[in-house]
Amino acid sequence: MPALFFYALNVSAETLQLDAWLGKYPSDKIAGKTANELLMKSHWLKKLVPAGEIRLLKSFTTEDLISQNGEYLLIFKCKPHDCPGSHSMIITDSKSAFWIGIYQNKGKVVSTRWYGSSDHTELPMAIQKLFIRGHTPE
């Protein structure tokens, strides 16, 4: 499973309609758009995530099928040939809340960053474990 980036934001003013991509890749086009385009062009992303991090997220081009876990849609992405070391998980729920988790391991420097309007620890433990599994050998 490729990486994870985990988004957390209540975007009531801008509801992302990603349900159509369930079981598809974020880069698959539906009605001429991709889920990646919808995510990266959202006004909330620019308010929530620093520009450097957005560039990093765009570099995560290896992707898995969009999946569902309960009410949560999950998008797993990583850097090509470096999924355990650089990955992200995007999560959105039926209430338009959104979380972004980013993990990077550059040898002697390891970092995990979360962005959102609510604490990522409010997510169900099963979802949090999916993010951790992205960089932990099974």
Six-digit token string for 124: 């169900």
Q: What are phi and psi of 67, to 5 degrees?
A: -120, 175
How far apart (Å, rounded) are the C-alpha atoms in residues 138 and 132? 10
- pLDDT tens figures, 92-124: 777 777 888 999 988 888 899 998 778 888 888
Instruction: Label residue 29 by pLDDT band (50, 70, 90).
Output: very high
Q: Which H helix or E strand runs over 8?
A: strand 7-8
With contact defined as beta carbons under 8 Å apart, do 63 and 76 qualify? yes
SS3 130: helix
Query: Which residue type sits at 65?
Result: L
Query: Which residue type sits at 22?
Result: L
Domain ranges of the chain: 7-133
Give the pLDDT of residue 44.
72
Residue 7 has pLDDT above 70, yes or no: no
Give the pLDDT of residue 10.
37
